[in-house]
Structure 1
Amino acid sequence: MTTVAPATAGMSPALLTDTLALTARHLRLMVRRPPSIMGGIVLPIIFAILFLTVFGRVMDRAGLDYPQYMMPAIVVQAAFFAAMSGSVWAAEDASSGMVERLRAMPIARPAPILSLLIGETVRSVVGCVVLIALGYAFGFRFSTGVLGVPAFLGIVIVATASICLPYLVLGYRLAAPEPAQALGGVIYFPLLLESTLFVPKDAYPGWLQPIVEYQPLSCVTEALRAVSTDGYSNVASTVGIAMLWMVGSLVVFGLLAPRVFGRVS
């Protein structure tokens, strides 16, 4: 007979064990799905090579060190790919009845959400390391010294979690993979196009520049540039603004995620 988890399951001391077990499941499934590897690692590599080879010389002639400018943007883009993949995983679990099975088991209530979040973050960090290695071949460097590397990776981890969590909420709420994937793109592309990921803010009309500069995607990307490029002005405030966006997302959607997960039927 199925044992129903008590209402206090979310406070279970087994939270870590449950989360790690479900994270291992998620990573195994991810490895068995080639599209997951494509979306998390291969596509960002293709984007990086295309941008750096096609636009690199043009931007160099314009006085912009394009590999140094572009690699943080590609890393943020890879985090968004991981987030959109996470929304599809969440939607599949919701539509297949997996969520109801997990809710009926004696496991910590936050564990399924945390496991998806950790799994996608792990994939994003692996992709980040691969992209940095590729970037070095094109001239990208951590000119800020040894401390720049852990600062960069730390921002990547927090950024990936803060981007993935809203997408997990979206996936659980829609409970259908195709709409989750489609709506994820609708959210992503306006943020991508109206940002400083690929071009400086000065390339936009004057009235649009404040929006472009302070939207979350731009702030995170600029924070990565600040900790990787020596001589970047206002490093502390740049990283601080990005952290406000990221922590705000984690708090808001961290409170919302268990509610949405609990209503999946």
Structure 2
Amino acid sequence: MTAVASTPTPTQQHWTPDTAAVHEALVAGARPRPQGPLAASATFGWRTLLRIKHVPEQLFDVTAFPVMMTLIFTFLFGGALAGSVDAYIQFFLPGILVQSILMITMYTGVALNTDIEKGVFDRIRSLPVWRPSALVGALLGDVLRFTLASAVIISLGLLLGFRPDGGPLGVLGAVGLLLVFAFALGWIWTFLALRLQTPNAVMGWSMLVITPLTFGSNIFVDPSTMPGWLQAFVDVNPVSHLVTAVRGLMHGEAMAGDVGMVLLWSALLVAVLGPLTMRRYGNRS
């Protein structure tokens, strides 16, 4: 057998980067200014809205769901409780508006938890922006979705015979107050999203919280017909204060105390859950 001569391998050449040229390329031109808190929050809010473009099914909870809720409860309870749909819709529409908006606020937490599952959460936290902007922006983006849902419900109510005595200003004031409370309530679902492991868990716990708050209120009937123990819960329920204020604004009978209670509850929710959420947001690994 003949031996095969081995071919000598050429000596590898090591490339040494020109550090001066690299530095010159990096510092060339003006460095872009980092976004401020407002601009960063608006950017993340726009990201929330872009989800609708890529997942149009998300419009279901702000269009079809409120329509179904309004039609089902109006025609189910209208004749039995008020004698007619026309009479009941005057009392009921502000309440179902509140319930529909508050029910869909929980999707804020579900969306955030989905981002955590997919790893988007970690990428966002690594960005050089104001730390709370990702959470605040998501909540602000959802406020626009809630505005769309409010417009759908009010338009349907007008078709069914709802006539707000407070006029357009009263309706706008009622929707504005509802959006403030919905933004504050969203911090509960955001906190749950950072604590729980899966979107289904967030949805389950959110339903446990929102169901007694909405159904144990003055949305559907006058609390005077309820048992005493239930009236006691309804009287301290923040959703009851919200419904009373929204109903009063729409019918031109709003009391400053009712509006003030809603604003106080909103401030308390943000003041308590905001720092807790941000602490969990910063410590989550």
TM over 0.5: yes
Aligned to 1:65, what secondary structure does the other structure show?
helix
Provide the C-alpha distance between the structure 2 equivalents of 1:64 and 1:219, rounded to a whole number of angstroms.
24
Provide the C-alpha distance between the structure 1 equivalents of 2:132 and 2:43, rounded to a whole number of angstroms.
13
The answer for the alignment partner of 1:73 in structure 2 is 95
The answer for the alignment partner of 1:246 in structure 2 is 266
Kindly indicate whether the alpha-carbon contact (under 8 Å) linking 1:67 and 1:140 is maintained by their aligned counterparts in 2.
yes
Among 199, 211, 229, the alignment partner of 2:233 is: 211
| RMSD across aligned positions (CA) | 2.0
Q: Tell me whether 1:98 sits opposite 2:98 in the alignment.
A: no
Aligned to 1:87, what secondary structure does the other structure show?
helix
Aligned residues: 252
Kindly indicate whether the alpha-carbon contact (under 8 Å) linking 2:86 and 2:162 is maintained by their aligned counterparts in 1.
no
Deviation of the 1:36 alpha carbon? 1.9
Aligned to 1:107, what secondary structure does the other structure show?
coil
The answer for the alignment partner of 1:20 in structure 2 is 42
Q: Tell me whether 1:183 sits opposite 2:179 in the alignment.
A: no
Amino acid at match of 2:51: L
Amino acid at match of 1:177: P
Deviation of the 1:32 alpha carbon? 2.8
Q: Tell me whether 1:264 sits opposite 2:278 in the alignment.
A: no
The answer for the alignment partner of 1:136 in structure 2 is 158
Among 229, 237, 241, the alignment partner of 2:257 is: 237
Q: 1:40 to 1:146 in 2, by over 3 A?
A: closer
The answer for the alignment partner of 2:141 in structure 1 is 119
The answer for the alignment partner of 1:37 in structure 2 is 59
Comparing 118-127 and 62-71, the one that deviates more: 62-71
Q: 1:217 to 1:119 in 2, by over 3 A?
A: same
Give the gaps of 5 or more residues in structure 1: 1-11
Provide the C-alpha distance between the structure 2 equivalents of 1:264 and 1:42, rounded to a whole number of angstroms.
36
The answer for the alignment partner of 2:245 in structure 1 is 223
CA offsets per residue over residues 60-81 of structure 1, 9 Å max, x none? 3289932122212222222223
The answer for the alignment partner of 1:165 in structure 2 is 187
Question: TM-score when scaled to structure 1?
Answer: 0.88
Deviation of the 1:171 alpha carbon? 0.9
Amino acid at match of 2:244: E
**Larger Rg computed on CA atoms:** 2
Q: 1:123 to 1:63 in 2, by over 3 A?
A: closer
Kindly indicate whether the alpha-carbon contact (under 8 Å) linking 1:79 and 1:159 is maintained by their aligned counterparts in 2.
no
Give the gaps of 5 or more residues in structure 2: 1-33
The answer for the alignment partner of 1:82 in structure 2 is 104
Provide the C-alpha distance between the structure 2 equivalents of 1:123 and 1:214, rounded to a whole number of angstroms.
28
Deviation of the 1:116 alpha carbon? 1.0
Amino acid at match of 1:130: V
Provide the C-alpha distance between the structure 2 equivalents of 1:222 and 1:216, rounded to a whole number of angstroms.
10
Amino acid at match of 1:237: G
Aligned to 1:147, what secondary structure does the other structure show?
helix
Kindly indicate whether the alpha-carbon contact (under 8 Å) linking 1:40 and 1:81 is maintained by their aligned counterparts in 2.
no
Q: 1:64 to 1:246 in 2, by over 3 A?
A: farther
Comparing 249-258 and 84-93, the one that deviates more: 249-258
Amino acid at match of 2:202: A
The answer for the alignment partner of 1:51 in structure 2 is 73
Amino acid at match of 1:244: L
Kindly indicate whether the alpha-carbon contact (under 8 Å) linking 2:37 and 2:133 is maintained by their aligned counterparts in 1.
yes
Q: 1:13 to 1:37 in 2, by over 3 A?
A: closer
Provide the C-alpha distance between the structure 1 equivalents of 2:72 and 2:138, rounded to a whole number of angstroms.
30
Question: TM-score when scaled to structure 2?
Answer: 0.82
Comparing 215-224 and 185-194, the one that deviates more: 185-194
Kindly indicate whether the alpha-carbon contact (under 8 Å) linking 2:124 and 2:134 is maintained by their aligned counterparts in 1.
yes
